[in-house]
Amino acid sequence: MADNKAVNQTAAKPEEAKADKKAKANDGKKKLKKQADKNGKSKYICVTPGSASFGERYARVLQDGMVSIDQADNLVVIKTVSGMAMAVAAAIDALEIEEIVGSIAGDDTIMCAVRTADLVPAVIEKISNK
């Protein structure tokens, strides 16, 4: 029985080695990412891991994807470039703005529910300045 345990342990080691080798091979490789250009059209760009921090990436998504931002009672309504609402909503969620209770994104519109209507101008300011 001891021989079977040794065989099973050695069988698992090559799989672990393959996973480690694959992870190391992916380090530093460039990846394709879809992004909106200044005219609102989608394009693919090459991204090198570690080239920009998440904060910089989210700021870029907000700048490139957001078209307008407005208030409707206790809601913040954000218009985006077509197809960018999910990415912009993810960027807004990453900001972790306490006043936002939740957000819903469609194709080109995001609605963020804010705790009270009085807090909406401050939320708009926080989103606009990123």
pLDDT tens digits in sequence order for the chain, 130 residues long: 555 555 444 444 555 554 455 445 555 566 666 777 777 777 776 665 555 555 677 888 988 999 999 999 999 999 999 999 999 999 999 888 999 999 999 999 999 999 999 999 999 999 998 7
What does the pLDDT read at residue 123? 96
Rounded to whole angstroms, the Cα distance separating 6 from 75 reads 62
Q: How far is CA 22 from the centre of its chain?
A: 24
Helix (H, G, I), strand (E, B) or coil at 114: strand
Residue 44 contacts residue 33 (beta carbons within 8 Å): yes
| Token pair of 3 as six digits | 């021989």
The CA-based diameter of the chain, rounded to the nearest angstrom, is: 72
What does the pLDDT read at residue 94? 86
What does the pLDDT read at residue 10? 47
* pTM (two decimals): 0.59
| Token pair of 49 as six digits | 């891991």
What does the pLDDT read at residue 30? 60
Rounded to whole angstroms, the Cα distance separating 97 from 58 reads 14
What does the pLDDT read at residue 32? 64
Rounded to whole angstroms, the Cα distance separating 112 from 108 reads 13
Partnered with residue 109 across adjacent β-strands are 79
Task: Using DSSP bridges, classify how beta strands 42-47 and 31-36 pair: parallel, antiparallel or unpaired.
Answer: antiparallel
What does the pLDDT read at residue 1? 52
